[in-house]
Structure 1
């Protein structure tokens, strides 16, 4: 997965949201979430592990928090959830900025 640079996140006005999500707490402080930006679409992935059940709960919480944080900057949309196996990860869903 490619690292998205500061300028790209700033251009979409979401740098602060992603900075906050990066440090959000999770079970065993694992932070299983990974986000991929493809144009204006954010895709959410979860790292597979022995803690998948707890990590899925963490994913639900972080996606909810992201929606709420994005509302504060005028983006009032919802995640489209479509759980799929993606190798080392689970694809969780997408969000259009």
Structure 2
């Protein structure tokens, strides 16, 4: 599993979510949603400190993004690419497996 956060998305997270001392941006499971990889579950974002990350991404300016071991099941061995949707002015989440995007 790999986590990639593109530059425009990093900038959005810094401006909209902020950066607390010692905290990073966690991508985690949310009940009652949908995603290309899981029915009835979606992805949510939480600014918090990492505890048992299985994958991390650190931006050039030091902002940490991560997925905890507890949420590994959600991704079903897919990589997560966090891109940016210029029209909606928000992050876009792409699930990728073996070089193929599910979105």
Compute the TM-score of the two structures, normalised by the length of structure 1: 0.30
TM-score between the two structures when normalised by the length of structure 2:
0.29
Higher strand share: 2
